[in-house]
Structure 1
C-alpha cells in the first residue's frame, strides 16, 4: 500500500513538476561549467536541440547544409511564440520589403538579427559562448531578453566551421595538461600544421563570403539570401596579448557603406562599451579591422543591406584553457566566454531597441538600390562571343549572389568602359550577351563586385584591394553609364550541332577556352579515354579551332570498343561541351590530326607537397582544385617524409608557397633536378619559385638591385628624410602589393597560355622582381603599362615593370614551370584555373 501511494503521488505530481521545470543551464546539461573544458561540436548541437525541444514554440532549428567531413551546419531561429508561429510570413514579408519578392510587405515586422560564431575553427571560444547566449534568450525567467524578442527574430549559427573546430578541439584534448599548463611554451599552446583555423580544404571561410568557393559558404549564403537580415554579427578571436575589439571599425570604410550603417557602428560600440566598462574589461575600437574588402562576414552582409560587424576576443588557438600573458596575468577560457557572451547580448539589445528604425533603413536601402542605384555605371554587358555556354561559371556565380541578369535578344551598338583596355570604347551588343542592370535589389553588391578600381580612403588595410568580377572570370565586359532595356531570361540556343549525322566519327573536336573544358578533359582521362591537343590553329567543317583545342580520335581508343562514342558524348553533355564530330583526319587549313603539332595528352600522376613549412592555404587551394573543381586524382606528400619518396612514381610535382629553406637542403634540390631531367614536371609557385631562383641549372633569377632616384622638395631639410616611428606601418606598406590587378602579356603560342587571347589579368599580392629568362620561355610578362587597379606601394612598383610572372624551362627530358603569381588564390580567381590546367596537362608533352 505504501508503494502504491508513492506511485500515485508521483503520477499526480507530473503536471505540476513539468509546469515548474526550468531550463537546464549549460553547466547542468553538460556536467561542467562553460569554459572549464572545450565542448565538442556534437554536444553543442545536442544542447541547442535540448533547448529548442524544451521551448518549441519559441525556437526552431534548421539544418542548412553539411561540411566536407559530413558534419551538419545548423541555425536556430529564436523569438516569441507569436513570431515563431509566423516565421515564414516574416521571411517572405522581409524579402518583399527588399524587392526580391513581389507584393506588399506586412506593416509591422520584427528585425532580423543573424549572429555567426566560430568561422575560424581554432577561434573556438565563440561556440562555447553561444550555449549561454541561447540559454539566456530562451529562459522565460529572463525578462530583459524576453522583451527584446518581442520585436526581434534571432538567427543563430553556433558554428560556421565545424571541421576546423573539431580539428582544434580534438588536438587540444589530446595534448592539454591536467590541469592545463599556462606556460606559453607548453605543447598545448602550439598547434601543429595546418592548425584548426581553416576548413577541411584549408580555406579561410571568413574570406569566402563573396566568392562562395567552399561547400560551407555556398550553403550559408543560400540560406542568408532567403532571409536578408538587418544585422549580421561575426564572432572571432585574435592574438593572446590582445584585449577585445568591437565596433566602430577602422578605416578604410568602403565608400558605399551608408550613413545609417556607419551610425550603427557607433551605436553598437557604445552599447558594448557600457557593459565592458561596468566590468572593467579592456577593449579597443577603430583599429586594425576595416570595412573594405567585400568578402568578410561583416562587409558582404553590409553590401546586402545589413549592419555588419566583427567582434574579436584575444586568445585564439594558442590560448587553450588558460595561458600566461606577457603582462603577467592569465587569460582563461572562462574570461573569453564571458566577453563574447556579453557582446552577443549587447548586440541583440542594441538592434532590438531600434528595431523599427533598422527595418525602415533596410527598406530604404533596397528601395534606393532598385530606383536610384549608386555609382557611375547603370548597366554591365558581358560578351558571350556567340557561345553563351562558355559563360556558365559567371552566370552561376551571379545567381548564387542573387544578382539578376538577362540575355540580349538582338544586336545593337553601345559605348562603355572596357575592362580589357581600361578605357571607354564603342562595342556591339550581340545576341546572348549578358545584360546586368543596376536597377535591381542587389545593385550595391553588384556595383562593389564589378567596380574596376575601388576607392581606398586609407592604404592601411590588410587584404586585397582589387577584385572586379570581369577580371576574376577573365571575360570581356563593359560598364555603361546608361540604362539598357532588359533582354530574354534564357539564351537563344536553337540550332542543331554541326555534322550531327556522323554516327561513327573519325574524331571529336572540342574547343579549349574555359574551366569546363578542363573538367571535360579530366573526366575523359579518368575514364581511360585518350585525347590529343593541337599546338597550331586549324580549320575543319568551316570552324576554326585555336591552339589547345582537344582532338579525341577513334585511333588510340580502340580498346574502348563500342563504348568510345558513348563515353565521349556523355561527358561532353555533363560539362555542357560542344563537340564537333569529324569524318576525316584531314583539315581545311592548318595541320592534319597526324601532324607533329598535334600532341598526345598523358594522364599524369600528380603529387603536391604539404606539411610543416608549406603554406596551408596555398596547399589547400591546390588540393581543392584537383578534388573539387576538376575532379582529378592527386597524391598529397608530407614534407616530413618527402626525401624518402620515389619521385619516379609521379609525372608532376607541385610545390605550393612555403618556407622551403626550412626543410629543403642541397640534396633535396639535387634530387628534384635529377627527377626533372629524367622527364618530370615541376610546378613551383610563388615562394617556391623564389627558393629555386638563382640556383645552379635554374633559369629563373631575381632582378639586380636598382637604384631609384628619390624626388625631393627643394625646400626640404635633411631632417625630412629621417624615419618617423609613428609612420612605421605606412613605410612598411610602401613595400607591399595588396592584391592588385595587373595585365599579364602572354606568349599565346606556348601551351601554358593556350585558351587565352594573349592577355591574362592576374591578382598580384607581391612583387618578386624576376628578370626575363635567358634560357627558357618567358610566357607571361609584365610590361610598364600592366597596372590595372589596387594598392601598390611605391617601393614595390619597380619590381612590377618589365618582369617575369610565368616562365617555363626545359631541363633534360623534363620541365620546370615557374609561377610568380598563384592563379588558384582563394579558389575564386576563375580565369586562372585553365592556366593551371595547361601547366598540369599540356606543357611538356
Structure 2
C-alpha cells in the first residue's frame, strides 16, 4: 500500500519580509499501519515562494482600469471598506459590474430560507462566460474528472480549458469582510487591464460568491434563518443555501475554493492548516496548499507587513466545512481564511483582499498545470480504489504524534442493503447524497457472495448479498468522497477536535451495509438518480408545541433550529412556538405534545417561574406528552417528572456515533430496528429502570458495543439509558439523553423522535415515582471547551486558565482531569482566547487525553 510520509512542517507566524521555512522532513520510521514513507513534500516552501516571486508580473502592480466598469462608489455611494455593505448593496454592485463588463456574467444559485437570492458572478474571457461556453467547460471538466477518459483526450481538453477558481465569503452572517473583499476582487478582475488581472484570467475563470448567508448577514448572526451553522452543513446539504452552492460547484468544479471568514482571535489565519487532516484527502490539493498557495500568501503578507499565522486551530478534518468538502469531494485546494473581527472594516477588507488576490495570482501563474494535476488526482484515486488502498494518516504540522493510524486494510467495495422495507427512505437519502456528489452507484442484478463482507461495527463473514443491494465501488474518481461518506471510522489521528469525529452516512441513517476488500466482479446495473425521499407520516397529527429555552445559547439556538427545519421540511408537522411566559399563562391547554430542544435546565426553570413550573407539571400529569432533547432533559428531574437520574460525563467522546440497543416492544422502535447509532457529544449519562429504558447503551462485553469516532473512558456508558420513557400521572415523559436530530442529519434516531411525537403510549409503561431532584452542579458541556489531561498536567492547564481569568468546572475520573471551560455561549471562532488556550494545552503532548472546541 502506498503511503504519504509522516512529515512535519515548521511553524511560521508574523509579518515577514522574507520567508524562513525549513524543509519538510521525514521523521522516524513508520509504525504499523502508517505505511512506508514516500519522499517528503516540497523541499522547501521558501523555494516554492521564490519561484512564484520570480514571475514577470507583480500581482500587486499599480492597476490600470477600464472606466466603463463602475466602482462601488458609483453604484452604492461608498468605497468598499468604508463600512460593511448590506446584502442588497452587495447584490446591486455585483449585478452592476456584470451589466457593465463583457467578462462577467451573474446569476442566482439558490434562494435563502427567507427568500433572498444567493447571487454569484463568473469572471473570465468573454468566450468562456457565455452560456454555451460555461456549458462546454462544465462538460469538459466532467471528462477530466472521469478516470476513464483517454489520456490524449484529456491533454487536448486541458490545452483549451480554463481552471476554475472560487471565492466565497460570509458563510457566517456576522463575519462580513469576506463579502466586501470578494466584491473588490470582482471589480478588479472586471476593470483591470494590466498584467495582474490578465495573469489570472488568461487561463482561469473566477466564480465569486460574495455572501453565502444573506439572511444571517442581514440579522448579523452566525447562522442562517433556521439557526444552522452552514459551515457544518456541507455534506448533508440540508439548507437551501448549502444545497444550491454545492450544485453550482458540480457544474463548475473547482481547483481552488477560498472560504473567507472572520474570527475572535487577533491577526489573520490562512493555510497551511492545523492537524488533523482527514486521511483520505488526495495529495494534489494538499500539495497546492503547502507548495503554492501558502507560500504565495506568506510572501504577500510579508511584503505588506501584515501579521498572520498558519497551522494553528483550523483543521481540515470534519466533512462539513467549506474547505474539507471542496478538497475531498472535488479535489480542490479548499482553504479557510480567518481575519480578526475586531479590526476596522477597511483593514479587514484589505487583508482579505490581499490573501485572495495573492492566491488567485499564484493559481493563474500555473497555466495548464492545475488541470493536469487535477485530472491526474482523479486517475490516482481510481487506481487506489482498484487496489483497495486507503490513504494513511499523516501529520502536516509540528507538535503532534499519530496515535491512531489508519489500519492497513483493503477496501474495494461498499454495499448498502435494501432488503428492509422500513428503511427505504433512509437508504434512498444516503444514495441520493452520493449521486449528487457524482459517485457511481450500482444495483446488483444477481446475488453476490462476498467472502469477507464486513458489516458496520461487526466482524467479517462470508455473506451472500441479495439482488437489489446497492454496490458502490471504490474504483472511481470519487474514491476519496466515497470513503469519507461510507467509512466505518474516521481514524482520528490524535485527540484534538474542532468538531465531531464521526459522520458515516449509513450510520447516521441507521441502514445496513458494509465493505469488502476482495477482488469481486459483481453483476450490477447503474442506478438512476434517486428522487428526494418523502417521509411517510401517517395518522392524525397531535397539536405540537416547541419551546426553545434560550435565544442566546449556541446549543439552544441550533438544537431548536434543527428541530424546526426537520418538522417543516422533513416530516411536515405543523407546530406552535411557545415561550416560558406563554406556558406560565396557560398556553399548554392547546398543546398535546411539547418538544423542548436542548438547553439549560436552570435557564428553563428560572424562565418558567413558579407559575410556569406548576403549569408544566400539571399539564403532564393531566395527559400531556413532554419530549426533552439532550441537555433540556435535566429539566424533568428538576421538576420531579421522571425517576431517571444522571451524572456528568467523565468520558471524552467529542461527537462520535455509538451503537445503541432498541427495545422492539417500545413504540419508539417502529421502523428503527434492534439497534441504532446515537450521536454522543459529552452528554450527561442517564440511568433509569429497565422498563423505562427503551434505548440503552450496550453492556460491557456485548457484541453490539461499537463506537465510530474518538472515545476515551467510554466504559462509563455501558448499560446506561440513552432514552427514558415513563408514564407520569395520565401523561408521558420521553427523555433523550442525546439530540436525536443532531444537525438534522441523524435520520436513524430522528425516526425515534418522530415515533415519540406521533406514536402510541407504551402498552406496559412504567409509572414514574419521581420527586424533584436538586440539580447537579455539573454544567452542560455542549457550549463549553473541554481540555482533558492526565493528572500530572492538571496544574499546568489550571495555570493557563487562571492567566485568562477563565471559569471552568473540573471533572475528575481515574487517570483523567477534565476542564469544562465556560466560553459564555460563544463558539471557539467567536471567542477571543479559546483557541490560544487550546493550542497551549495541546503542547502538553502525551499528557493530553482530548481537547474539544465548540
Q: Same fold (TM over 0.5)?
A: yes
Query: Do the aligned partners of residues 213 and 700 (structure 1) sit closer, same or farther apart at CA in structure 2, a change above 3 Å counting?
Result: same
Query: Do the aligned partners of residues 83 and 421 (structure 1) sit closer, same or farther apart at CA in structure 2, a change above 3 Å counting?
Result: closer
Give the drift of 1:806. 0.5
| Alignment correspondent of 1:217 | 242
2:584 to 643, 646, 671: 643
The answer to whether residue 525 in structure 2 is matched with residue 488 in structure 1 is yes
Name the TM-score, length of structure 2 as normaliser. Answer: 0.73
Q: CA contact under 8 A between 2:488 and 2:708: conserved in structure 1?
A: no
Name the TM-score, length of structure 1 as normaliser. Answer: 0.74
Q: Which segment is superposed worse, 393-402 or 375-384?
A: 393-402
Query: Do the aligned partners of residues 738 and 704 (structure 1) sit closer, same or farther apart at CA in structure 2, a change above 3 Å counting?
Result: closer
| Alignment correspondent of 1:412 | 448
Query: Do the aligned partners of residues 618 and 767 (structure 1) sit closer, same or farther apart at CA in structure 2, a change above 3 Å counting?
Result: closer
| Alignment correspondent of 1:366 | 378
The answer to whether residue 736 in structure 2 is matched with residue 736 in structure 1 is no
Q: Which segment is superposed worse, 743-752 or 77-86?
A: 77-86
**Following the alignment from structure 2 to structure 1, what is the Cα–Cα distance between the partners of residues 359 and 689?**
57
Q: CA contact under 8 A between 2:284 and 2:377: conserved in structure 1?
A: no
Q: Which has the higher contact order (CA 8 A, sep 6+)?
A: 2
Once the two structures are superposed, residues 263-301 of structure 1 have per-residue CA deviations (whole angstroms, 9 ceiling, x without a partner) of 222232221122222232221110111111112110011
**Following the alignment from structure 2 to structure 1, what is the Cα–Cα distance between the partners of residues 364 and 438?**
27
Alignment of 1:281-430 (within 5 A): 281-303=306-328, 304-315=330-341, 319=342, 331-373=343-385, 374-375=389-390, 376-385=410-419, 387=421, 389-390=424-425, 391-430=427-466
**Following the alignment from structure 1 to structure 2, what is the Cα–Cα distance between the partners of residues 639 and 273?**
52
Give the drift of 1:486. 4.7
**Following the alignment from structure 1 to structure 2, what is the Cα–Cα distance between the partners of residues 829 and 21?**
53
Once the two structures are superposed, residues 333-390 of structure 1 have per-residue CA deviations (whole angstroms, 9 ceiling, x without a partner) of 1111111111110110121112422211111111122333242211111111175955
Per the alignment, in what secondary structure is the counterpart of residue 274 of structure 1?
Answer: helix
For the pair shown, the structure with the greater C-alpha radius of gyration is 1
Per the alignment, in what secondary structure is the counterpart of residue 749 of structure 1?
Answer: coil
Alignment of 1:291-690 (within 5 A): 291-303=316-328, 304-315=330-341, 319=342, 331-373=343-385, 374-375=389-390, 376-385=410-419, 387=421, 389-390=424-425, 391-482=427-518, 483-489=520-526, 518-521=535-538, 525=540, 603-609=542-548, 611-612=550-551, 615-639=556-580, 641-665=582-606, 667=610, 668-690=612-634
**Following the alignment from structure 1 to structure 2, what is the Cα–Cα distance between the partners of residues 404 and 775?**
45
Give the drift of 1:414. 1.4
**Following the alignment from structure 1 to structure 2, what is the Cα–Cα distance between the partners of residues 639 and 694?**
16
Per the alignment, in what secondary structure is the counterpart of residue 424 of structure 1?
Answer: coil
Once the two structures are superposed, residues 13-66 of structure 1 have per-residue CA deviations (whole angstroms, 9 ceiling, x without a partner) of xxxxxx97442221332212223333221221111111111112x111122221
Q: What is the alpha-carbon root mean square deviation over aligned residues?
A: 2.7
**Following the alignment from structure 2 to structure 1, what is the Cα–Cα distance between the partners of residues 434 and 283?**
27
The answer to whether residue 273 in structure 2 is matched with residue 249 in structure 1 is yes
Per the alignment, in what secondary structure is the counterpart of residue 90 of structure 1?
Answer: helix
**Following the alignment from structure 1 to structure 2, what is the Cα–Cα distance between the partners of residues 204 and 271?**
30
Query: Do the aligned partners of residues 681 and 697 (structure 1) sit closer, same or farther apart at CA in structure 2, a change above 3 Å counting?
Result: closer
Per the alignment, in what secondary structure is the counterpart of residue 320 of structure 2?
Answer: coil
**Following the alignment from structure 2 to structure 1, what is the Cα–Cα distance between the partners of residues 173 and 127?**
35
Give the drift of 1:160. 1.1
1:746 to 630, 645, 662: 662
| Alignment correspondent of 2:197 | 145
Q: CA contact under 8 A between 1:419 and 1:470: conserved in structure 2?
A: no
Give the drift of 1:468. 1.4
**Following the alignment from structure 1 to structure 2, what is the Cα–Cα distance between the partners of residues 517 and 126?**
37
**Following the alignment from structure 2 to structure 1, what is the Cα–Cα distance between the partners of residues 511 and 739?**
19
**Following the alignment from structure 2 to structure 1, what is the Cα–Cα distance between the partners of residues 72 and 749?**
48
Q: CA contact under 8 A between 1:699 and 1:776: conserved in structure 2?
A: no
2:671 to 734, 751, 755: 755
Q: CA contact under 8 A between 2:545 and 2:594: conserved in structure 1?
A: yes
Query: Do the aligned partners of residues 759 and 164 (structure 1) sit closer, same or farther apart at CA in structure 2, a change above 3 Å counting?
Result: same
Aligned length in residues: 657
**Following the alignment from structure 2 to structure 1, what is the Cα–Cα distance between the partners of residues 648 and 119?**
55
**Following the alignment from structure 2 to structure 1, what is the Cα–Cα distance between the partners of residues 420 and 640?**
49
Q: Which segment is superposed worse, 632-641 or 439-448?
A: 632-641
The answer to whether residue 171 in structure 2 is matched with residue 119 in structure 1 is yes
Runs of 5+ consecutive residues of structure 1 not aligned to the other structure? 1-18, 169-195, 320-330, 494-514, 526-601, 706-733
Q: CA contact under 8 A between 2:87 and 2:214: conserved in structure 1?
A: yes
Runs of 5+ consecutive residues of structure 2 not aligned to the other structure? 1-64, 391-409, 763-854
Query: Do the aligned partners of residues 627 and 136 (structure 1) sit closer, same or farther apart at CA in structure 2, a change above 3 Å counting?
Result: same
Q: Which segment is superposed worse, 423-432 or 638-647?
A: 638-647
| Alignment correspondent of 1:64 | 109
Give the drift of 1:121. 1.0
Q: CA contact under 8 A between 2:147 and 2:378: conserved in structure 1?
A: no
| Alignment correspondent of 2:225 | 200
2:707 to 789, 798, 801: 789
Give the drift of 1:639. 4.3
Q: CA contact under 8 A between 1:198 and 1:204: conserved in structure 2?
A: yes
Give the drift of 1:122. 1.1
Once the two structures are superposed, residues 133-160 of structure 1 have per-residue CA deviations (whole angstroms, 9 ceiling, x without a partner) of 1111111344311222101111111111
Give the drift of 1:694. 5.9
